Amino acid sequence: MNKNKIAIVTVDYNEHDHTFDLLKSLDLVNKTDLDVLTIVVDNGSKDPLSLNKVEFFANTVLLPTGINLGFAGGYNRGIKYAMSWGADYILVINNDTLVKDSDFLQKLLKTFKLDKRVGIVSPKIYFAPGYEFYKDRYTKNDLGKVIWFAGGTIDWNNIYSHHRGLDEIDRGQYEGVEKTEFISGCCFMVKRDVIEKIGFFDEKYFAYYEDFDFVMRAGLAGFESWYNGKASIYHKVSQTAGVGSFFTDYLLTRNRLYVGFKYANLKTKFALVREAIRQVIFGRKAQKKGVLDFFLGRHGFFEKQPEVAPHFPFDVSIAIVNYKTAKLTLDLLKSLHKNVSSQVRKEIIVLDNDSNDGLIERIREIYPKVKTIQLKKNLGFSGGYNRALNYCRGKYFLLLNSDTEVTKGSVEYMISFLDKHPNAVASCKLILSDGSVQESAFVLPTLAGAIKKFWFGKKQAYGLFRPAGNMPQKVEGVVMAALLIPATIFHKVGELSEQTFMYFEDVEYARRLKREGISVYYLPKFSILHHHGASAKKVGDKAQKYLADGAKVYHGKLKALLISGVIFISQKPAQIKKSLTGFIYAYIFIILN
């Protein structure tokens, strides 16, 4: 019988003592017949979590981000890792909690068996002794029995969530297992199906109301939220943000407007507008800023988050996606083991995009330390790499096509270069199977660039080119056959776009890098072999369709059509070219004016 795979995800932001208290309490939880992995996300703490101290606990991994991604982004980092690990269920739990019930996991799991529609389950949550709101109200014997959450409701007239049982002493009044309208993000278990259907926390909230939004989306997708009063934890309430802080006041004000305008009825929306006007005129400074940022469409957090130097478990995480290229992938693994120094702390992740070619089994036999992910559906280039990258824990993420082979010193050189250029990504020179150098750098494609290249012969104005010389050069973009990205930049810029199955993902990512002010370097000193097009050949005639689809997504349908027209005209005899040139220029004039 296969064990249920449970991932426990918690996020730490400058509250290490609480995290270690939680890990100690989790050590005492009964995990019989369960495969449990605890994932600790260090969310840009000023004094980074110690790798050795975190991974001292059994089946526990540390995921550093280097920047504060907020509650939503930090938990998404851990949840995505859990999904790549293969979790059936994910327990989201604040680091300022303590698990008091040894059968906690089993009790929550049983709730999912009650009805196939159960998607999210919350335990009963007590104030940790000494963290009550009204400390003078309780006797010494009451401590540890004061309820913080026993199920919840939503006041749709005012857009507030209410905790049932808040500040009450537990006398057995909320011991049931039942449906609930609201679940707190402090602690809940969610099954994999929910994440696959509705996605992750919405990171525009940063913190507060992301749980509200998540529960609402799950409900609209047909999943139910339940409360299990037989399972319980303690909560050291508001230890990260602080009760009544500017940070809390601002985010609560802004995010309440987000969810109100997204889910409430028209009458409530009008009431929110009236209240927002009052807050702008008479409200606190944080409220004024929260209202203005909402109406200006400002997401995330209002201050630039400083980058830190976290304790990464590996120097580099190497991500490889296979689609029916088993032999080439094994050749690549052989080159990595042969040509990358043992002094480099590396992990290798191979994801198979539903090839059914037996590769994963062979890897587990030949290279047992390589981490593998087997997908049951081909998610395309970006989808596959995103799953692999979310399973990475290194300081740098190295994307390698399955049809590449690294040469001696190439990986070390890229790492050493980016160590000296932290706000950059880099790629080596690519050598094709015939020994020639691949044109692998590009400028971001534009209509004007296409005209310059195809009508006026300026070769580097559009498409791929090979930079001259042997020194590192800044370019606008490089193909993703071999790309080294610092983990902090990946978390800042985000995943590869999955709007297309394959093609244009490298161009779209280069555009985002440029917007963020991140440099792209082409490094010709070392090379990587590239057996170009091996995966593309496997999709056959669909390749051209995927390329056209990618162009439409990147440029928009009209610009993609115009660029195709420019290229088409350039390939025709002069008399046709002359007659169509005016037609193209007319369209360009319309677009630019």
Which has the closest alpha carbon to 229: 169, 164, 177, 163? 177
Mean pLDDT of 104-117: 96
**pLDDT score at 108:** 98
Residues 6+ apart with CB under 8 A from 315: 344, 345, 346, 394, 395, 396, 415
**pLDDT score at 567:** 74
Asked if domains 4-235 and 314-538 share a fold, the reply is yes
Q: Which residue has the tokens 């293969």?
A: 86
**pLDDT score at 535:** 58
Residues 6+ apart with CB under 8 A from 513: 425, 477, 489, 493, 519, 520
**pLDDT score at 549:** 66
Two structure tokens written together for 97: 């909690």
Output Rg (C-alpha) for the chain, integer angstroms: 27
- Give the confidence band of 590 by pLDDT, cuts at 50, 70, 90: very low
One-letter amino acid identity for 505? E
**pLDDT score at 540:** 54
For strands 346-352 and 371-374, give the pairing. parallel
- Give the confidence band of 34 by pLDDT, cuts at 50, 70, 90: very high
**What percent of the chain lies above the pLDDT cut of 70?**
90
Quick one: three-class SS letters along 206-268?
Answer: CCCCHHHHHHHHHHHCCCEEEEEEEEEEEECCCCCCCCCCHHHHHHHHHHHHHHHHHHCCHHH
Domain limits, the chain: 4-235, 314-538, 556-592
CB atoms within 10 A of CB 40: 25
Compare 226 and 579 and report the one with higher pLDDT: 226
> Distance between the two ends of the chain, CA-based, in angstroms?
66
Q: Which residue has the tokens 């002094």?
A: 343
Is the pTM for the entire model greater than 0.75? yes
578: pLDDT strictly greater than 60: no
Residue 16's alpha-carbon distances to 42, 46, 75, 240, in angstroms, are 9, 11, 16, 11
Dump pLDDT digits (tens) for 303-354. Answer: 666 667 788 999 999 999 999 999 999 999 999 999 999 999 999 999 999 9
**pLDDT score at 559:** 74
Q: Selecting from 2.60.120.1270, 1.10.10.10, 3.90.550.10, 3.20.20.80, what CATH number does the domain 4-235 have?
A: 3.90.550.10
Alpha-carbon span 357 to 361, nearest angstrom: 9
**pLDDT score at 203:** 94
Two structure tokens written together for 310: 């976290």
Give the ranges where 340-395 is alpha helix by DSSP (H): 359-366, 380-389
DSSP assignment of 283-331, as one string? S-HHHHHHHHHHHTT--S-SSPPPP-----SEEEEEEEEESS-HHHHHH
- Give the confidence band of 454 by pLDDT, cuts at 50, 70, 90: confident
**What percent of the chain lies above the pLDDT cut of 90?**
77
| Residues facing 314 on adjacent strands | 394
CATH number for the domain formed by residue range(s) 314-538: 3.90.550.10
DSSP state, residue 436: P
| Residues facing 117 on adjacent strands | none
Mean pLDDT of 215-242: 90
Residues 6+ apart with CB under 8 A from 344: 315, 316, 411, 412, 415
- Give the confidence band of 396 by pLDDT, cuts at 50, 70, 90: very high
Mean pLDDT of 538-549: 61
- Give the confidence band of 591 by pLDDT, cuts at 50, 70, 90: very low
